[in-house]
Amino acid sequence: MSEVTATMPIPKRHEVIEAFKKKGGQVAAVLPIHYSRALFRAFDILPVEVWGPPLMDSTQAGAHLQPYVCSLVHNALSFLKTGGLDVADYLLVPHTCDSLQGLGSILLDFIRPQQKVFPLYLPRGQRTEDRHYLIRELRQLYEKLAQITQKQPDHEALLTRIRTEEQADLLLARLYEQRQQLSLNNLNFYHLIRSREYLPAEDFIGLAQSAMKEAKVAEKSKGTPVLLSGIVPEPMDVFQAIEEAGGLVVADDLACCGRRLYPAGASNDPFERLAERLMNSPPDPTRGHSIEQREEHLLKTAEQTGAKGIIFYEVKFCEPELFDLPDLRKRLKAAGLPSVTIEIDLNDPLSNQVVTRISAFLEMVE
């Protein structure tokens, strides 16, 4: 990942991994979307997220996955089979959707990689029973990690790590709040935001604080304000395309970014606090939130940020996302917030057709 500003370089993933392992730590490759960073860090394991990766040969996965499974899952399996995840000591596969649940089963029962594979079953509701279920899941993951690492961090050690992650997420939320004052364009802002996917919390805290110090003297960013929704903004060229068309991404509803603005918890029990944070994050179709909840959240975000429209930037065949869109877009339009849907494959470069559609949409909402 390149530098964001001359005074705030962002290290690349492989650099962070090498430095962490050199100090004696281990690495967990984590598939999307929701999990507990603090739980892994308490065992001196750095979670490094795998969102694809984009732009790779995904044919290695073809023997195990149907062609209509999204490219995010195809790429992750191909990346694993070609040695891309050899640096990882563990694999975490949250049961985010049918495709990722299927991948988890393939890894546990058929391929059986060199890494220990941990599934994580997430609840699909916000009831008391769902919270209790999630607490049990997190406790079970703790017990598995304790058994395999021969470590057993106590409650205070867990709470200390949780508070550090909460501080990092608080600063992440503040970066969003100050988006229009930061001295960063669309692309560099999201390079910074997405470094949360792999940087240790303490390193991200330093980067975020540096960015906000520069914001005090920066001029307000200009452009037609829009929201960006979807799973992952790949290729990242999409931000340059939006900017060149006169747009400014003032907020997002991306699974890798804005849907993981986890609030601080209140409980003194570490597992209850971890569950609180995950359960209280913004609405997400993969966690069973209703269309009405998503509509309310998007309208409120647009009102707060002044966004004039939404670009739904979706990975092809992503059922949780695409199932909601017809009704969600209809509701948003009726409320005065126009939108456009763009479907992409992670292995395709940004096409002229996509650029044209973005430009046309921004002209319409300007």
At 2-14, the pLDDT tens digits run: 445 445 689 999 9
Q: At 3, is the secondary structure helix, strand, or coil?
A: coil
pTM of the shown model: 0.94
Contact assessment for residue 212 and residue 218, using Cβ atoms and an 8 Å cutoff: no
> Which pLDDT score, from 0 to 100, does residue 9 have?
86
> Which pLDDT score, from 0 to 100, does residue 8 have?
65
Question: How far is the C-alpha of 287 from the C-alpha of 280, rounded, in Å?
Answer: 11
Query: Which tokens go with 49?
Result: 């997220």
What phi and psi, each to the nearest 5 degrees, are found at residue 11? Answer: -65, 155
> Which pLDDT score, from 0 to 100, does residue 2 have?
44
DSSP 59: G
For 163-201, the pLDDT digits (tens) are 999 999 999 999 999 988 888 889 999 999 999 999 999
Q: Which H, E and C letters describe 105-148, residue by residue?
A: HHHHHHHCCCCEEEEECCCCCCCHHHHHHHHHHHHHHHHHHHHH
Residue count of the chain, please give it: 366
> Which pLDDT score, from 0 to 100, does residue 217 have?
57
Q: Domains of the chain by range and CATH?
A: 13-153 (3.40.50.11890)
> Which pLDDT score, from 0 to 100, does residue 6 have?
41
Low-confidence ranges of the chain (pLDDT < 70): 1-8, 215-221
